[in-house]
Amino acid sequence: MTILVTGGAGYIGTHTLVELMQAGHQVVVFDNFCNSTPAAVLRVEQICARKVKIIQGDICDRQALTQVFTSHQIDAVIHFAGLKAVGESVAKPLLYYRNNVSGTATLCEVMAEAGVTRLVFSSSATVYGDPQHLPIVEDFATCATNPYGRTKLFIEEMLRDLQRSDTSWRIALLRYFNPIGAHPSGLIGENPAGIPNNLFPFITQVAIGKRESLSVFGGDYQTPDGTGVRDYIHVVDLALGHLCALERIMDKEGVLTVNLGTGQGYSVLEMINTFEQVSGRTIPYQIVDRRPGDIASCYADPSLARHELGWVAECGLKEMCRDGWNWQQQNPTGY
């Protein structure tokens, strides 16, 4: 198949390109590089020893998107393109609604005009807000606590409405938990601009000497050691989940909403300890106040993904730390 990958130059996009190409698919990348670089796609070419078609463009640009569908025979779309910084979304909500929600609406309109109705969408565990029970099952109530999260919720609803209006649409809404790590080759990985918002890239930057120490946000949560618990998933496992979702929507109508997580939660201190063991580096840290908006614990019930997609995350925390550290060491300043 030929798959259009919006946001394909980004962190999860590049890892998914590798798995798609290694499974024999053709890919077309559409990205405006607002949070990435074409160099990342060149690394994908290096891993796969194949050229990748890259188109620089914005999902809000209807003409540019239409051009993609008229010049390529696209069978399905994996839609990663979006802005994802929670703090920025609070400061600039309209930017997030325009880019994420309106951009997705434009993409779907252009897809419909081209007769392409297979779509895999990047949603997030953030749509569960602060869950009342754990592990998190897909039919839990949804709620969002910031504009970024609301864009994911609104897009999910918009895509369900779209499918109700035209049942030829087949859509997978993939709710990612916390992707970390990198491709085992060390050629592609997460490349945050500026100070990392997320735990794992912050730890690797402390380990490489780029930052002095880690602030652990909160030591008084109702968790075994008081620090926040999350379901970290190896980015290659996550990428493979997209392939399974793609195959699944090719032969099943409707909207499939599914968690992509491991089902196992780890605390911030457990993450630090595992990273120290794997890397042989010490991570200096201090426990500071909670980060506003954070929740105590979040981990998936991944059974629906196993039943519906035949997908299970294979890698453990040590492999995530090993591969993420390998990427950081090989690319101390990113791409």
- The burial class, CB within 10 Å (0-12 / 13-18 / 19+), for 92 is middle
The yes or no reply on residue 324 touching ligand NAD (CB under 6 A) is no
Backbone phi, then psi, for 284, in 5-degree steps?
Answer: -65, 140
Q: How far is CA 91 from the centre of its chain?
A: 22
The yes or no reply on residue 216 touching ligand UFG (CB under 6 A) is yes
128, 148, 176, 266: the catalytic one is: 148
203, 271 contact by CB (below 8 A) = yes
Residue 18 carries which side chain, given as an amino acid letter? V
Q: Which of 21, 44, 60, 182 binds ligand NAD (CB under 6 A)?
A: 60
Taking residue 264's Cβ as centre, other Cβ atoms within 10 Å add up to 18
Q: How far is CA 304 from the centre of its chain?
A: 19
Distance, CA of 67 to CA of 55 (rounded, Å): 10
| Contacts to ligand UFG from residues 105-164, by CB under 6 A | 124-126
Q: Pattern 157-196, binding to ligand NAD, x per CB under 6 A?
A: -------------------x-xx-----------------
- Give the pair of three-digit tokens for residue 152: 């994911």
Binding partner of residue 216 among ligand NAD, ligand UFG, none, CB under 5 to 8 Å per kind? Answer: ligand UFG
Least separation in angstroms between CB 124 and ligand UFG = 4
Q: Which residue is nearest to ligand UFG (CB)?
A: 228
Backbone phi, then psi, for 314, in 5-degree steps?
Answer: -100, -30
Active site residue 148: yes
| Contacts to ligand NAD from residues 84-113, by CB under 6 A | 84, 99, 103
Stretch that binds ligand NAD, among 80-88, 109-117, 156-164, 268-276 (CB under 6 A): 80-88
Sign for the pseudo-dihedral over CA of 303, 188, 156, 161: negative
Give me the active site residues, please.
148
- Which residues make up the interface to ligand UFG (CB under 6 A)? 84, 86, 124-126, 176-178, 197-199, 202, 214-217, 228, 230, 268, 291, 294
